[in-house]
Homo-oligomer: A and B are copies of this chain.
Amino acid sequence: MSDQNGLPPNYFHHQLPNGIDMIGQYMPSLSSTTFGFQLEAAVIHEPKEKQGLAHLFEYMIFQGTKKRDVRALNEAFESLGARKGASTGLETAQVWAQVVHTKFEATLELMHELLLTPTFPKDELEQVRSIILQEIRRRDDEPMSRIFDLVRAGFYHDTPFARQVLGSSDSVRALQQQDLREFWQARYQPNNVLFAIAGKFDWDKVVEKMQAFFGDWEGQAAPISVPRPQPVTTIELEHQDGKQEHLGMMFPFPAYNDPDYYAAMVIGEALGGNMASRLFVEVREKRGLVYSVSAGLAGNRQIGGMRVYAGTTPEQGHECLEVIVNELRKLEQGGLSADELERAKVQLKSEHIMRGEGSAARMGALTRSWWYERKLKTIQEVKEAIDAVTQEQVLRVLQRFSPLSPITVAAIGPLGRDELVGNTLSV
């Protein structure tokens, strides 16, 4: 039943007649199974005036089905000893469960009930709404979480990628049961589903049960075309009195499906991925300019990006920005030393191997790999791809993607533009 063309041992792919894509990695030594349904039913798919809908949906899908109210639903999951959850990103949303492998079939049946017969009960909607409004209040109280929204808004200006996942208090207050139903109707369709499973399972049985539970599901989610973001250099400031100055930066960098992706990962690791990284050493260790500094990839399928964050004080804000910009310039001009390259590669490979021991992490990795590239990358392939990165490739990547142009700089704190930026950036 499974199409094994060109797949490595223990990896599987199959497509059900109704369009559901299925992928899997068998991990014989585990007792657990993690499986999830990823859909393009996320932030960029919301109607423009319904911001926060995809995130609200993530909560509401668990609040009741035609057969069970929320309490019975929670009891059913608990009876299976299931961990369950959902997440909403800019481009995709996922609903998942992790169980001891003997409970797979019963949990899959419950997931079917959840995904195909949700009722979005009105009383639960009001409870969930008030929880989300509190989340929004907390977000708005915390400059450290808002800085990421602000830098993203600058980078993706005027495209749906600039939206806030949670929405605003006003947009969330306006959402209705009918909006959830319409979103479900429009996006929760079999051709929009990527099912992934990792851990202990029998693939033929998984295919059989997926067909049994989901085979009758018919319908089409229409493709939604989203304008491709075109970042330009911009400075986004949000004034807030106090003793903190939060800095965020983002510049275009290779996306997951770019041949230079692993070189980009290595650069991110060496720049700000760990405590021996350039930013950590230069900004924090040597100069004590921040309490926190980091860098890492943060793009999506349409456009990749590298993001830098630093938390500092207003007194040190300008110097901190200057040092970071200087490090980006040095990076662009000189690339990485042989030592740095080697350390970053060892660290990334090691992390990949250690994460790869769990079924939840592998389910996530498979999903990404298939969704971005229609491939199922093994841990060995990723190791080899990281190993293949050279100093020359690093320099080429930094020529393709200059860290300083275009760059979005965002800040939340008391400093004005001149005080913070001065003539550090040629904007």
Contacts and interface: CB of A to CB of B under 8 A. Distances in A.
A31 B81 contact: no
Nearest to A79: B343
A358 to B, nearest CB: 6
A345 to B, nearest CB: 9
Interface string A25-44: 00011111000000000000
Given A70-B285, A343-B75, A357-B30, A291 B100 contact: no
A336 to B, nearest CB: 13
Interface in A262-316: 274-276, 280-281, 284-285, 288, 291
Contacts of A127: 284-285, 288
Contacts of A343: 75, 78-79
B350 A82 contact: yes
A78 B31 contact: no
Contacts of A81: 346-347, 349-351
A7 interface: no
B100 A350 contact: yes
Interface string A335-365: 0000000111011011101101111000000
Given A79-B346, A100-B353, A131-B291, A276 B74 contact: yes
A181 interface: no
A99 B288 CA distance: 29
A26 to B, nearest CB: 13
Interface string A233-277: 000000000000000000000000000000000000000001110
A4 to B, nearest CB: 23
A333 interface: no
Contacts of A285: 70-71, 127
A74 B288 contact: no
**Majority secondary structure of chain A interface residues (helix, strand, loop or mixed):** helix
Interface in A47-80: 70-71, 74-75, 77-80
A393 to B, nearest CB: 20
A205 interface: no
Nearest to A356: B31
A329 interface: no
Contacts of A276: 71, 74-75, 77-78
Contacts of A79: 342-343, 346
Contacts of A28: 29
Given A74-B275, A275-B74, A32 B357 contact: yes
A165 to B, nearest CB: 19
A98 to B, nearest CB: 6
A354 B103 CA distance: 13
A341 to B, nearest CB: 12
A134 interface: yes
A315 to B, nearest CB: 13
Nearest to A243: B137
Given A78-B346, A81-B347, 11 more contacts: A28-B29, A29-B30, A31-B354, A31-B357, A71-B285, A75-B343, A78-B344, A79-B346, A82-B350, A83-B350, A100-B354
Interface of A: 28-32, 70-71, 74-75, 77-83, 98-100, 103, 127, 130-131, 134, 274-276, 280-281, 284-285, 288, 291, 342-344, 346-347, 349-351, 353-354, 356-359
26 contacts: A29-B30, A31-B356, A31-B357, A32-B357, A71-B276, A74-B274, A74-B275, A74-B280, A78-B276, A78-B343, A78-B344, A78-B347, A79-B342, A80-B350, A81-B347, A81-B350, A82-B350, A83-B350, A83-B351, A98-B354, A100-B350, A100-B354, A130-B288, A357-B357, A357-B358, A357-B359
Instruction: Sort A-B residue pairs by CB-CB distance and give the 8 closest, nearest first.
Output: A81-B350, A29-B29, A74-B276, A74-B275, A78-B276, A75-B276, A81-B346, A78-B343
